[in-house]
A and B are shown apart, each in its own frame.
Chain A
Amino acid sequence: MPSLNQTHVDTATLTQGIATAAADDASGRLEPAAPEAQTDSVTNAAATGARTLSEKVWDRHVVRTGGGQPDLLYIDLHLIHEVTSPQAFDGLRMSGRTVRRPDLTVATEDHNVPTADLHLPIADPISAKQVEVLRANCDEFDITLYPMGDPGQGIVHVIGPEQGLTLPGMTVVCGDSHTSTHGAFGALAFGIGTSEVEHVLASQTLPQARPSTMEVRVDGDAPAGVTAKDIVLAIIGRIGTGGGIGHIIEYRGSAIEALSMEGRMTVCNMSIEAGAKAGMVAPDETTFEYLAGRPHAPSGADWETAVADWRSLVTDEGAAFDRSVTIDGTSLRPHVTWGTNPAHVIPIDGAVPGPGDFNDPVEATTAQRALDYMGLTAGTRLSDVQVDTVFIGSCTNSRIEDLRAAAAVARGRTVADGVRTLVVPGSFAVKAQAEAEGLDAIFVEAGFDWREPGCSMCLAMNPDKLSPGERSASTSNRNFEGRQGRGGRTHLCSPEVAAATAIAGRFVTPDDLG
């Protein structure tokens, strides 16, 4: 939990981190970036009263402040799943506590559930037990649960928004780092650990030190073929895996405003890959249009009241951010990762860098290790790298828009020989919509494997895994060593590039397919 003191240390080291790890979008080479402008938000706010979006949402959730303790924040929505909750419920029972607001809590089974043969019991006994424990806990504490196979089931960060449970100005937490996804609605949403899950269950609040604020501005129209995924990969390449630590990022600028809600969710989802506490986009007409009529969204007169309130959730004129990063949207291209963290990323037509491109000796060692792990050498063109697996799914890119984009590439084409492809919709609602639109048939005809919803090969907790040495093009969010299976090699990319790569068998864009 960063103190004020701590924030200063972070800021001081930040510039150094950028100088060593920044990737220039235009060339794909690693070069020092200019130090970022810094201002003191406390002074700013005191002087003008102007506040940023995240400060406004924070302020309206403070239950208690001062007294030498961090702010106590009220939590509007608590999402839980089978992996990070069992020990929290155990903790509650051990201390004789209960769930304060089961009506603000919702559970789903997503991380370890299979994506095929759902009529059969879960084959892995340890996964099966974890799911059973979640069901028993939800039953005991009267929490709504969407179990495997239920029409409401899906990845926790897909079902919240699609049901209208995630609304602008809310606080949303989950024992999952990709909770940042929900920030796309102008909610303050962040991942928490299991002790904090227990804390929220018991009190519906969390003590939190106020993070710093950071603006990431992407101005200018992104060229055709550049997706939300490419925007966020470019941002992470620019600021590094620690660039957002201690900060809430607000994504702004015309390239962000032009994104659909699905696109904004993709961007906010990967905020954590830059280390950020949360990512947010100010709500606007795109947001309201998405939410109108969703099952849990307000309706009638409440809708009008809510929208009027949501319109105030913008960063005030004159409000300053602690840090500001600007990216030229017009210079962006499709991005693909080459190494073992999401900041190891280059444009798809670029060449893989080597340790000599990093100034910091530890980062250079890490880069060499990444090359060894990935079985790549510096200077290799990504277009010469062959894959054996393609995964389209995860809380980053498994929504209907992602599947439409991938299907548009797959239509009338055939997957390359020897390439295994998984298309895993984010929820049963997404799956049903896709099937109503005939996307499943397009995928199946092209040779893609159409699956049931879940986290699947994003983190290899279910049977969908890479084998040692296998190489994937994946629309997920983490290319860490072993993330998709022991010894597996992951390259992150957009659904469009993933689908095109499945057809070509190597990294290409849809345009390259001709």
Chain B
Amino acid sequence: MEPVRVHEGRAVPLDRSDVDTDQIIPSDWLKRVERTGFGKGLFSEWRDERDFVLNDERFAGATVLVAGSNFGTGSSREHAVWALMDYGFVAVVSPRFGDIFRNNSTKNGLVPVQVSEEAAARLRAAVAADPDLMVTVDVERRLLSAPAAGIEEPFPMDDATQERFLEGLDDIGITLRSTSEIDSYETERPAWLPTT
């Protein structure tokens, strides 16, 4: 994946909670066998509604999505992350993320920025009031900020995940360095465990 250190961009407010991955990318799009081209399917049902925020030209080109709580719950489909990134998002801000969505994000270089309900609401309001507000997602300092709106919020990210973002590391490559440990673990597994 590509490294992400400090990202600065405009944001778009999504005033909805419990945005599940079926909404992010409907199942019709899951039949594709490629990893690219999912941006067109992003929120495709909601984009048919005239007043959906992604149809608001004032937010065109925004790279940070600011949502309500429980973003990315539901289906494990990594296509949701591919769609968000293909559309142009670099980070998603939410008070709480679905676990699988969070993992999928960090594997692809989409930054999950978890802040309090209050901070997310404040940022959504600030962006709605000023679509040109510049928002900074600083992975190095684990800090979300929008200085013009007086917003500065730390966000949690474990050291290993942060390192992968900063260096753009390949997870599988890191694991395969431990092949000898995997080999030795396998010799200890009970023989009665099933094979397929």
List A residues at the B interface (Cβ < 8 Å).
1-6, 9-10, 13, 16-17, 63-64, 68-70, 72, 74, 76-77, 83-84, 86-87, 90, 95, 97, 100, 102-106, 111-112, 124, 126-127, 129-130, 133, 143-144, 164-165, 167, 170, 175-177, 190-196, 198-199, 202-205, 207, 209, 211, 240-242, 245-246, 272-273, 275, 277, 296-298, 302, 305-306, 309, 341, 343, 360, 362-363, 365-366, 369, 459-461, 478, 480-483, 486
Q: Which residue of A lies closest to B99 (CB)?
A: A277
Q: Evaluate whether A241 and B156 lie within 8 angstroms (CB atoms) in the complex, with A84-B77, A306-B192 already known.
A: no
Residue B103 is within 8 A (CB to CB) of chain A in the complex? yes
Q: Which of A207, A305, A366, A483 contacts B171 (CB 8 A)?
A: A207
In the complex, are the beta carbons of A6 and B114 less than 8 A apart? yes
Stretch touching chain A among B26-34, B56-64, B127-135: B26-34
Query: Across the interface, which residues of B come within 8 angstroms of A111, CB to CB?
Result: 30
Stretch touching chain A among B3-11, B66-74, B83-91: B66-74
In the complex, are the beta carbons of B158 and A193 less than 8 A apart? no
Query: Across the interface, which residues of B come within 8 angstroms of A1, CB to CB?
Result: 102-103, 106, 158, 160-161
Query: Across the interface, which residues of B come within 8 angstroms of A478, CB to CB?
Result: 20, 22, 74-75
In the complex, are the beta carbons of B196 and A130 less than 8 A apart? no
Query: Across the interface, which residues of B come within 8 angstroms of A242, CB to CB?
Result: 18, 69-70, 73, 96, 98
In the bound assembly, the distance between CA atoms of A77 and B182 in angstroms comes to 15
In the complex, are the beta carbons of B159 and A245 less than 8 A apart? no
In the complex, are the beta carbons of B16 and A366 less than 8 A apart? yes
Tell me the residues in window 112-157 of chain B with beta carbons closer than 8 Å to chain A beta carbons.
114, 116-117, 121, 156-157
Could you list 7 further interchain pairs (A-B, Cβ under 8 angstroms) beyond the known A130-B33, A193-B76? A5-B156, A90-B35, A196-B104, A199-B175, A205-B175, A242-B70, A242-B98
List B residues at the A interface (Cβ < 8 Å).
15-18, 20, 22-23, 26-28, 30-35, 45, 68-70, 73-79, 81, 95-100, 102-104, 106-108, 114, 116-117, 121, 156-161, 170-172, 174-176, 178-179, 181-182, 185-186, 189-196
Give 7 nearest A-B pairs by CB, closest first: A3-B158, A193-B104, A193-B78, A195-B107, A86-B33, A302-B192, A242-B70
In the complex, are the beta carbons of B195 and A482 less than 8 A apart? no
Q: Which residue of A lies closest to B194 (CB)?
A: A296
Query: Across the interface, which residues of B come within 8 angstroms of A87, CB to CB?
Result: 33-35, 78
In the bound assembly, the distance between CA atoms of A385 and B139 in angstroms comes to 50
In the bound assembly, the distance between CA atoms of A343 and B73 in angstroms comes to 12
Query: Across the interface, which residues of B come within 8 angstroms of A126, CB to CB?
Result: 31-32
Query: Across the interface, which residues of B come within 8 angstroms of A176, CB to CB?
Result: 75-76
Q: How far, in Å, is B16 (CB) from chain A's closest CB?
A: 6
In the bound assembly, the distance between CA atoms of A277 and B102 in angstroms comes to 11
Q: Evaluate whether A297 and B73 lie within 8 angstroms (CB atoms) in the complex, with A362-B68, A366-B18 already known.
A: no
In the complex, are the beta carbons of B76 and A175 less than 8 A apart? yes
Q: Which of B22, B28, B157 contacts A3 (CB 8 A)?
A: B157
